Amino acid sequence: MSDSSSNTSKQTNLLDHPRGAQTGQPGDRRAFSFETRTRLADSADGKGRNGARWGRTGTIHTPHGDIQTPAFVPVATQAAMKGVLPETIKELGGQCMLSNAFHLFERPGEQVLDEAGGLGRFMNWDRPTFTDSGGFQVLSLGAGFKKTLAMDVTGMKSDQVIAEGKERRAFVDEDGVTFKSPLNGDEHRFSAEISMGIQHQIGADIMFAFDELTTLMNTRSYQEQSVERTYRWAQRCVAEHQRLTAERVGKPYQALYGVVQGANYEDLRRHAAQQIASLDFDGVGIGGAIEKRIIGNTCAWICDEMPEDRPRHVLGIAAVDDIFACVENGGDTFDCVAPARCGRNGAIFTRDGRYNVKRAEHKHDFGPLEEGCDCYTCTHYSRAYVDHLLRAREINGFTLATIHNERFFIKLLDDIRASIDGGYFEDFRDQTLARYYAHGSRG
């Protein structure tokens, strides 16, 4: 289903013998690299400096295999995607997976993953893995927001903002963040050094520096303070990462990405990107709250300031138009929980837009979730059956809906990659978006 399958023979036994791991030696950094294959031509309407369009295809080389980019990264938050095995994600064409460092720290604990041989071995996934740093929990447990994009912040600027009905569970200071566990209320402490220690023990191929994630509702003054604090934390992350890499011999090299914050302010985004570019990172994470209307611009501002040999990961994006905007302006990899979470609630993504399979009209519909889809669900089960399972809250319903949605986004990025290499990106973008949004937003 994906051109990543052509690399299978080259990746044999990488779970047991990852590239760049030698007994008694630090991980070999040369096992991680990025190479560009095709770049979009600059244009008069390019959003980057002098009309630059930073969109490209390429290959991220990691100790556990290669990632052909642009690529969608399915999310296995707690070393698992709800209702779907890693083997299934591979069959869907998934090249890599991302897990959440904070949740794995809470359970089963990073020591367990270290003893198991790392995240990939723990969940029987023999391809590349990512972990985020715990920085997202600064927002989700602090301000209580689960989504950070396209916020309506008209007339709302407050550094004490919190989502309705939520309790503040994260408190930021210069050294780090104090968290109150959503599981049992226990108090935990994260800092740059603690996050690096946890992620090194989790053992993903790619990890992120600890950062402060703000909301668009925070004031300009606070955004400025946060960018500088994130930079200071980034410096500490690099130092601790280098120390742990040298100390933890016999392990494959783990790449470290710095994260660029700055909300919707161009000068802050450029400044933060310059700061991150000045440090010895392997890649960059484009993070934080971003207004939907300028999401492409934001990627371009950051890419203007970054070395081209560093891969760029856009955190938490899954709207189809946002993906196209971010790819065109430099995004290489994308992760989001939306395909699985929406699927469990009955929302199905298709080339003709999103719809809710639990609507009454589908109760007697014995066609597939999407005509022409090659996923296991669409080739074996009907809308009526998935509707029944979801209404009955059967686990199989979660599984079948998630399989389809994950395949939709994996294939979307595969097709975008082919369009850039084939020289027809603009036509593919325009046709895909026209078809997807022809009936407006549904579901």
Give me the pLDDT at residue 163, please: 53
Catalytic residue, chosen from 114, 335, 387, 414, is 335
Q: Extract the residue ranges of the chain whose pLDDT is less than 70.
A: 1-12, 135-166, 168, 441-443
Give me the pLDDT at residue 148, please: 44
Annotated binding site: 132-136, 211, 261, 288, 373, 375, 378, 404
Q: 208 and 249 in contact (C-beta within 8 Å)?
A: no
Is residue 421 flagged as an active site residue?
no
Give me the pLDDT at residue 40, please: 98
Annotated binding site for Zn(2+): 373, 375, 378, 404
Is residue 42 flagged as an active site residue?
no
CB-based burial, 168-187: b 16+ in 10 Å, e otherwise: ebbebeeebbebbeeeeeee
CA distance 256 to 281: 6
* CB-count burial class (<10 Å; 0-12, 13-18, 19+) for 380: exposed
What's the whole-model pTM score? 0.93
Give me the pLDDT at residue 288, please: 82
Give me the pLDDT at residue 165, please: 64
Q: CA dist 327 to 92, 258, 276, 291, 339, Å?
A: 21, 19, 21, 16, 18
Annotated binding site for substrate: 132-136, 211, 261, 288
Structural domains of the chain in order of their starting residue, each with its CATH number: 61-336 (3.20.20.105), 338-443 (no CATH)
Give me the pLDDT at residue 12, please: 62
Catalytic residue, chosen from 132, 282, 304, 322, is 132
The DSSP 8-state label assigned to residue 338 in this structure reads: H
Q: 403 and 377 in contact (C-beta within 8 Å)?
A: yes
